[in-house]
Structure 1
Amino acid sequence: MKLNYVNFGQYRMMLANKRILFSFMYFSITAVLSYLGYLHISELRLIESNLFLDSAPSVFAVPIASYICFGLVKEDKKRTALYCTSGLVIYEYLQILIPKRTFDPMDILFTGVGFILTVSLVLVYEKLSECIWERPKKNA
């Protein structure tokens, strides 16, 4: 029987690849779910218009924008989500100056809810990642 030994460098590379794949899968799935939620709310807005449905897509804009930035920026994910949220709030204020666009304070409120949702999903990711990748400590 031939045993296949892997040196420490190969093991670390394999582990890093698995972590990257896990991160990609987690954030891809949650981004797709956010996008599906956005599409569903958008369809409901065509049927009926009210204050909640008009601003609800802003909740899903933050996770989608943040997940795109997570792939571009190797910083703290919560800080990156805060920057994306700030950008969306600034864009909402800039709509005052853009013709045929309207400023809606409810969009800012729902963007804040989207930030809370994004940070919650990041915390779940960190907890899952910690459970999966941390080695169990041996009792002495």
Structure 2
Amino acid sequence: MKLQKSFVMAVALALALPLAYADDSTNYVNGGIGDEGMARMHSIANEYPLHIIFSEGKDGAFLADIPVTILDRHHKAVVELPDAGPLLYVRLPKGKYTVNAEHHGVKQSRNVTLDGKHAKSLIMHWASTSQEQE
């Protein structure tokens, strides 16, 4: 029986678990809020070749609810999330990808090549937000 994505998300949130999702071509976990969530994410990090961390400001505060799109080399979206972070771990086949994210209207894009052997980490960091500048 295939579970509805919204049901899986509700259970994950209720149990403070990382949000996991899988289909035929994509597998990811998204979470890391709080000490327990961060510990759970770190415990499964070795299973995912792409680690994305979202942060902001001079203190490097973690961010959540970041819209993210990961494109393959043909510019086809292989992952689209409206609310990623603070940690997003993705299992994708080896290849070249572009990660696009946005926070408070500021867009960032990073290219990454997965070789199928080594994990890659991307830090998507925004220097400051309008709240910090006030």
TM-score category, normalised to shorter length = under 0.3
For normalisation by structure 1, the TM-score amounts to 0.23
More helix by share: 1
More strand by share: 2
Larger-Rg structure: 1
For normalisation by structure 2, the TM-score amounts to 0.23
